[in-house]
Amino acid sequence: MFPLDNIPKETKLFPDLTGTLRQIDAFPRAIGEHSDLFRAHRINDERQEEVLALKTLRAGSSSNPSFETVVQTKLVELGNQWVQLSHPNVAKIHGVAYGSGRLPAVVMDFYDAGSIVSYMKAQAVTDEEKLQWVKEIALALKYLHRRKTPVVHGDVRGANVFVKANKECVLADVGMVYMTDMPEFVMMKSAATCRFAAPELMDPNAPRQTVEGPECTTQSDVFCIFSGDVPFSHKKNDTSIIPLVLSGERPELPQYIQEHPALARLVQDCWAAEPHRRPNMSNVCYRLGLTSYLRYLLEWIGVL
Protein backbone atom coordinates (compact mmCIF):
# COMPACT_ATOMS: atom_id res chain seq x y z
CA MET A 1 0.00 0.00 0.00
CA PHE A 2 1.33 3.42 -0.96
CA PRO A 3 3.27 5.25 0.24
CA LEU A 4 5.93 2.63 0.93
CA ASP A 5 7.83 3.25 4.14
CA ASN A 6 11.28 2.10 3.09
CA ILE A 7 11.79 4.63 0.26
CA PRO A 8 11.25 8.40 -0.10
CA LYS A 9 7.64 9.42 -0.64
CA GLU A 10 8.41 13.06 -1.45
CA THR A 11 11.16 15.64 -1.79
CA LYS A 12 11.43 19.19 -0.54
CA LEU A 13 10.42 20.46 -4.00
CA PHE A 14 7.93 17.67 -4.73
CA PRO A 15 6.00 17.39 -1.44
CA ASP A 16 3.41 14.86 -0.31
CA LEU A 17 0.16 16.88 -0.34
CA THR A 18 -2.16 14.04 0.74
CA GLY A 19 -3.13 15.56 4.07
CA THR A 20 -3.67 19.02 2.62
CA LEU A 21 -6.21 18.12 -0.08
CA ARG A 22 -9.90 17.29 -0.13
CA GLN A 23 -10.97 15.26 -3.14
CA ILE A 24 -14.10 16.54 -4.89
CA ASP A 25 -14.97 13.69 -7.24
CA ALA A 26 -16.01 10.19 -6.17
CA PHE A 27 -15.52 9.01 -9.75
CA PRO A 28 -12.92 10.14 -12.29
CA ARG A 29 -13.61 13.44 -13.97
CA ALA A 30 -11.63 12.19 -16.96
CA ILE A 31 -9.96 8.94 -17.93
CA GLY A 32 -6.63 8.84 -19.74
CA GLU A 33 -4.54 6.03 -21.15
CA HIS A 34 -2.54 5.51 -17.97
CA SER A 35 -4.26 7.70 -15.38
CA ASP A 36 -7.60 8.81 -13.91
CA LEU A 37 -8.18 12.47 -13.16
CA PHE A 38 -9.96 13.70 -10.03
CA ARG A 39 -10.48 17.26 -8.83
CA ALA A 40 -9.47 18.48 -5.38
CA HIS A 41 -9.40 21.59 -3.17
CA ARG A 42 -6.85 22.50 -0.56
CA ILE A 43 -8.32 21.91 2.89
CA ASN A 44 -7.41 25.41 4.06
CA ASP A 45 -8.99 27.00 0.97
CA GLU A 46 -12.33 27.94 2.56
CA ARG A 47 -13.57 29.82 -0.48
CA GLN A 48 -12.55 26.92 -2.74
CA GLU A 49 -11.12 29.30 -5.30
CA GLU A 50 -8.34 26.98 -6.46
CA VAL A 51 -9.16 23.68 -8.14
CA LEU A 52 -6.33 21.17 -8.47
CA ALA A 53 -6.16 17.95 -10.45
CA LEU A 54 -5.13 14.58 -9.04
CA LYS A 55 -3.67 12.69 -11.98
CA THR A 56 -3.85 9.21 -10.47
CA LEU A 57 -1.69 6.62 -12.19
CA ARG A 58 -3.39 3.47 -13.39
CA ALA A 59 -1.73 0.25 -14.48
CA GLY A 60 -2.56 -3.37 -15.10
CA SER A 61 -1.99 -6.11 -12.55
CA SER A 62 1.60 -7.10 -11.89
CA SER A 63 3.35 -10.17 -10.54
CA ASN A 64 6.58 -8.20 -10.27
CA PRO A 65 7.38 -7.91 -6.53
CA SER A 66 9.35 -4.70 -7.11
CA PHE A 67 6.64 -2.93 -9.14
CA GLU A 68 5.36 -0.70 -6.32
CA THR A 69 8.90 0.18 -5.24
CA VAL A 70 9.84 1.16 -8.79
CA VAL A 71 6.65 3.22 -9.22
CA GLN A 72 7.19 5.30 -6.07
CA THR A 73 10.93 5.69 -6.67
CA LYS A 74 10.54 6.80 -10.29
CA LEU A 75 7.60 9.09 -9.54
CA VAL A 76 9.43 10.94 -6.77
CA GLU A 77 12.62 11.27 -8.83
CA LEU A 78 10.79 12.50 -11.92
CA GLY A 79 8.37 14.64 -9.91
CA ASN A 80 11.30 16.47 -8.35
CA GLN A 81 12.30 17.47 -11.89
CA TRP A 82 8.78 18.27 -13.10
CA VAL A 83 7.96 20.63 -10.25
CA GLN A 84 10.98 22.80 -11.16
CA LEU A 85 9.59 23.57 -14.62
CA SER A 86 8.17 27.09 -14.82
CA HIS A 87 6.74 28.38 -18.10
CA PRO A 88 3.33 29.86 -18.98
CA ASN A 89 2.78 27.12 -21.56
CA VAL A 90 3.87 24.15 -19.41
CA ALA A 91 1.35 22.64 -16.96
CA LYS A 92 2.21 23.44 -13.34
CA ILE A 93 3.03 20.50 -11.05
CA HIS A 94 2.57 20.96 -7.28
CA GLY A 95 3.47 17.62 -5.69
CA VAL A 96 2.29 14.07 -5.07
CA ALA A 97 -0.72 12.61 -3.26
CA TYR A 98 -1.56 9.10 -2.09
CA GLY A 99 -4.93 7.43 -1.60
CA SER A 100 -7.03 8.63 -4.54
CA GLY A 101 -6.42 5.28 -6.22
CA ARG A 102 -4.28 2.17 -5.99
CA LEU A 103 -1.27 4.10 -7.31
CA PRO A 104 0.00 7.60 -6.40
CA ALA A 105 -1.28 10.78 -8.04
CA VAL A 106 0.55 13.77 -9.48
CA VAL A 107 -1.00 17.02 -8.20
CA MET A 108 -1.24 19.64 -10.94
CA ASP A 109 -3.34 22.59 -12.01
CA PHE A 110 -6.83 21.73 -13.23
CA TYR A 111 -7.95 23.01 -16.64
CA ASP A 112 -11.74 23.11 -16.82
CA ALA A 113 -11.81 23.55 -20.60
CA GLY A 114 -10.08 20.21 -21.02
CA SER A 115 -7.63 19.20 -23.72
CA ILE A 116 -7.55 20.93 -27.09
CA VAL A 117 -9.08 17.74 -28.52
CA SER A 118 -12.19 17.97 -26.32
CA TYR A 119 -12.22 21.76 -26.63
CA MET A 120 -12.36 21.63 -30.43
CA LYS A 121 -15.14 19.03 -30.29
CA ALA A 122 -17.21 21.34 -28.09
CA GLN A 123 -16.83 24.55 -30.05
CA ALA A 124 -15.54 26.00 -33.30
CA VAL A 125 -11.89 27.03 -33.39
CA THR A 126 -10.44 29.22 -36.14
CA ASP A 127 -7.29 28.39 -38.09
CA GLU A 128 -5.63 31.42 -36.52
CA GLU A 129 -6.41 30.10 -33.03
CA LYS A 130 -4.98 26.69 -33.94
CA LEU A 131 -1.80 28.31 -35.25
CA GLN A 132 -1.53 30.32 -32.03
CA TRP A 133 -1.71 27.06 -30.06
CA VAL A 134 1.07 25.63 -32.23
CA LYS A 135 3.18 28.67 -31.41
CA GLU A 136 2.54 28.25 -27.68
CA ILE A 137 3.45 24.56 -27.84
CA ALA A 138 6.60 25.52 -29.75
CA LEU A 139 7.57 27.97 -27.01
CA ALA A 140 6.96 25.31 -24.36
CA LEU A 141 9.14 22.78 -26.17
CA LYS A 142 11.85 25.35 -26.74
CA TYR A 143 11.88 26.06 -23.01
CA LEU A 144 12.13 22.35 -22.21
CA HIS A 145 14.76 21.54 -24.82
CA ARG A 146 17.00 24.50 -23.94
CA ARG A 147 17.24 23.81 -20.24
CA LYS A 148 20.72 23.12 -18.87
CA THR A 149 19.77 19.45 -18.92
CA PRO A 150 17.38 19.23 -21.89
CA VAL A 151 13.93 17.89 -21.03
CA VAL A 152 12.23 15.63 -23.57
CA HIS A 153 8.44 15.53 -23.53
CA GLY A 154 8.12 12.22 -25.36
CA ASP A 155 4.39 12.28 -26.17
CA VAL A 156 3.40 15.56 -27.82
CA ARG A 157 -0.20 15.34 -29.08
CA GLY A 158 -3.54 17.03 -28.56
CA ALA A 159 -4.58 14.83 -25.64
CA ASN A 160 -1.63 16.23 -23.66
CA VAL A 161 -2.29 19.89 -24.44
CA PHE A 162 -4.84 21.70 -22.24
CA VAL A 163 -6.67 24.99 -22.67
CA LYS A 164 -6.52 27.62 -19.93
CA ALA A 165 -9.34 30.01 -19.07
CA ASN A 166 -7.72 32.72 -21.23
CA LYS A 167 -7.65 30.25 -24.19
CA GLU A 168 -3.88 29.89 -24.05
CA CYS A 169 -2.66 26.31 -24.05
CA VAL A 170 -0.30 24.39 -21.79
CA LEU A 171 1.71 21.26 -22.49
CA ALA A 172 1.08 18.55 -19.87
CA ASP A 173 2.52 15.12 -19.11
CA VAL A 174 6.08 16.31 -19.68
CA GLY A 175 8.31 13.24 -19.44
CA MET A 176 5.42 11.02 -18.27
CA VAL A 177 6.50 8.52 -20.92
CA TYR A 178 9.50 7.72 -18.71
CA MET A 179 7.16 6.98 -15.81
CA THR A 180 4.90 4.68 -17.79
CA ASP A 181 7.47 2.67 -19.75
CA MET A 182 7.01 -0.40 -17.53
CA PRO A 183 5.04 -3.36 -18.95
CA GLU A 184 2.17 -2.80 -16.50
CA PHE A 185 1.58 0.64 -18.05
CA VAL A 186 2.44 -0.25 -21.64
CA MET A 187 -0.40 -2.77 -21.67
CA MET A 188 -2.83 0.07 -20.97
CA LYS A 189 -1.60 2.30 -23.78
CA SER A 190 -3.55 2.83 -26.97
CA ALA A 191 -2.19 1.95 -30.39
CA ALA A 192 -3.52 5.36 -31.48
CA THR A 193 -0.33 7.00 -30.18
CA CYS A 194 1.51 5.66 -33.24
CA ARG A 195 -0.37 8.22 -35.33
CA PHE A 196 1.65 10.97 -33.65
CA ALA A 197 5.01 9.22 -33.19
CA ALA A 198 8.21 9.97 -35.06
CA PRO A 199 9.26 7.15 -37.44
CA GLU A 200 12.39 6.24 -35.48
CA LEU A 201 10.23 5.46 -32.44
CA MET A 202 8.30 2.84 -34.41
CA ASP A 203 11.12 1.38 -36.50
CA PRO A 204 12.39 -1.89 -34.97
CA ASN A 205 15.58 -1.55 -37.04
CA ALA A 206 16.41 1.96 -35.80
CA PRO A 207 19.63 2.05 -33.74
CA ARG A 208 19.00 2.32 -30.02
CA GLN A 209 21.24 4.04 -27.50
CA THR A 210 19.56 2.49 -24.46
CA VAL A 211 18.49 -1.06 -23.74
CA GLU A 212 15.49 -0.07 -21.62
CA GLY A 213 13.04 2.80 -21.68
CA PRO A 214 11.62 4.85 -24.55
CA GLU A 215 14.03 6.21 -27.15
CA CYS A 216 12.40 9.65 -27.23
CA THR A 217 14.55 12.66 -28.11
CA THR A 218 14.20 16.38 -28.68
CA GLN A 219 14.10 15.54 -32.41
CA SER A 220 11.14 13.19 -31.94
CA ASP A 221 9.36 15.99 -30.04
CA VAL A 222 9.89 18.25 -33.08
CA PHE A 223 8.33 15.67 -35.41
CA CYS A 224 5.17 15.60 -33.30
CA ILE A 225 4.55 19.32 -33.00
CA PHE A 226 2.68 19.70 -36.29
CA SER A 227 0.61 16.54 -36.15
CA GLY A 228 -2.50 18.72 -35.70
CA ASP A 229 -5.80 16.84 -35.80
CA VAL A 230 -5.74 13.05 -35.80
CA PRO A 231 -3.25 12.14 -38.57
CA PHE A 232 -4.38 9.70 -41.28
CA SER A 233 -7.97 10.03 -40.08
CA HIS A 234 -9.11 8.08 -43.16
CA LYS A 235 -7.36 4.99 -41.76
CA LYS A 236 -9.40 3.17 -39.11
CA ASN A 237 -6.72 0.71 -38.01
CA ASP A 238 -4.17 2.51 -35.84
CA THR A 239 -1.33 0.06 -36.35
CA SER A 240 -1.72 0.27 -40.13
CA ILE A 241 -0.24 3.77 -39.86
CA ILE A 242 3.21 2.46 -38.90
CA PRO A 243 4.29 1.14 -42.33
CA LEU A 244 2.94 4.30 -43.96
CA VAL A 245 5.07 6.60 -41.80
CA LEU A 246 8.14 4.36 -42.10
CA SER A 247 7.79 4.41 -45.90
CA GLY A 248 7.82 8.22 -45.89
CA GLU A 249 4.11 8.99 -46.15
CA ARG A 250 2.85 11.94 -44.12
CA PRO A 251 -0.63 13.31 -43.30
CA GLU A 252 -2.17 15.72 -45.77
CA LEU A 253 -1.48 19.31 -44.82
CA PRO A 254 -4.58 21.31 -43.82
CA GLN A 255 -5.70 23.83 -46.44
CA TYR A 256 -4.75 26.74 -44.17
CA ILE A 257 -1.14 25.55 -44.01
CA GLN A 258 -1.00 24.83 -47.74
CA GLU A 259 -1.95 28.46 -48.38
CA HIS A 260 1.14 29.62 -46.47
CA PRO A 261 4.22 28.22 -48.27
CA ALA A 262 6.72 29.16 -45.53
CA LEU A 263 4.60 27.41 -42.90
CA ALA A 264 4.16 24.37 -45.15
CA ARG A 265 7.94 24.11 -45.63
CA LEU A 266 8.44 24.28 -41.86
CA VAL A 267 5.96 21.47 -41.28
CA GLN A 268 7.65 19.32 -43.93
CA ASP A 269 11.07 20.02 -42.37
CA CYS A 270 9.75 18.94 -38.96
CA TRP A 271 8.47 15.72 -40.56
CA ALA A 272 11.86 14.74 -42.02
CA ALA A 273 12.49 11.00 -41.74
CA GLU A 274 16.04 11.50 -40.43
CA PRO A 275 15.99 13.07 -36.93
CA HIS A 276 19.15 15.12 -37.53
CA ARG A 277 17.51 16.85 -40.50
CA ARG A 278 14.68 18.30 -38.42
CA PRO A 279 15.04 21.89 -37.14
CA ASN A 280 15.53 22.45 -33.44
CA MET A 281 12.92 24.40 -31.50
CA SER A 282 14.92 27.64 -31.62
CA ASN A 283 14.74 27.47 -35.40
CA VAL A 284 11.05 26.53 -35.32
CA CYS A 285 10.23 29.50 -33.07
CA TYR A 286 12.21 31.86 -35.31
CA ARG A 287 10.41 30.62 -38.42
CA LEU A 288 7.06 31.01 -36.65
CA GLY A 289 7.90 34.66 -35.98
CA LEU A 290 8.25 34.18 -32.22
CA THR A 291 11.85 35.36 -31.92
CA SER A 292 14.10 37.75 -33.82
CA TYR A 293 16.88 36.60 -36.12
CA LEU A 294 19.44 38.10 -33.73
CA ARG A 295 18.08 36.11 -30.80
CA TYR A 296 18.02 32.97 -32.91
CA LEU A 297 21.70 33.48 -33.83
CA LEU A 298 22.62 34.08 -30.18
CA GLU A 299 20.80 30.90 -29.20
CA TRP A 300 22.48 29.00 -32.04
CA ILE A 301 26.01 29.99 -30.93
CA GLY A 302 25.15 29.33 -27.30
CA VAL A 303 25.25 32.89 -25.93
CA LEU A 304 21.61 32.66 -24.78
| Domain finish residue from 73, 91, 109 | 109
pLDDT band, very low/low/confident/very high, at 226 (cuts 50, 70, 90): low
Q: Are residues 77 and 158 in the same domain?
A: no
Domain range for 215: 116-301
Tell me the average pLDDT across 63-67.
90
Asked whether residue 222 is domain-assigned, the answer is yes
pLDDT band, very low/low/confident/very high, at 195 (cuts 50, 70, 90): confident
pLDDT band, very low/low/confident/very high, at 181 (cuts 50, 70, 90): confident
Burial class (CB in 10 A: 0-12, 13-18, 19+), 90: buried
pLDDT at 104: 97
Q: What are the pLDDT digits (tens) for 233-257?
A: 777 777 788 888 888 888 888 888 9
β-partners of residue 144 are: none
pLDDT at 239: 76
Between 135-149, 161-175, 179-193, 233-247, the lowest mean confidence (pLDDT) is in 179-193
pLDDT at 214: 60
Asked whether residue 3 is domain-assigned, the answer is no
Which one-letter DSSP state was computed for residue 251?
A: P
Query: Rg of the chain's alpha carbons, rounded to an integer?
Result: 20
Q: Are residues 286 and 217 in the same domain?
A: yes
* Pair 96, 86: CB distance under 8 Å: no
Q: Are residues 181 and 293 in the same domain?
A: yes
**Residue 90 vs residues 76, 86, 87, 247, 273: alpha-carbon distances, Å:** 19, 7, 5, 33, 27
CATH code of the domain containing 33 = 3.30.200.20
Nearest to 36 by CA among 178, 193, 188, 186: 188
Q: Are residues 74 and 140 in the same domain?
A: no
| Domain finish residue from 64, 81, 109 | 109
Q: Are residues 141 and 284 in the same domain?
A: yes
Average pLDDT of the chain, as a whole number: 90
* Pair 264, 257: CB distance under 8 Å: yes
Of 58-72, 74-88, 189-203, 288-302, highest mean pLDDT: 74-88
* Type of residue numbered 15: P
Q: Are residues 167 and 278 in the same domain?
A: yes
pLDDT at 8: 97
Q: Are residues 211 and 294 in the same domain?
A: yes
pLDDT band, very low/low/confident/very high, at 188 (cuts 50, 70, 90): low
Q: Read off the pTM.
A: 0.92
d(CA 76, CA 103): 13
pLDDT at 84: 97
Evaluate if residue 143 carries a pLDDT over 60. Answer: yes
Q: What are the pLDDT digits (tens) for 254-299?
A: 888 999 999 999 999 999 999 999 999 999 999 999 999 999 999 9
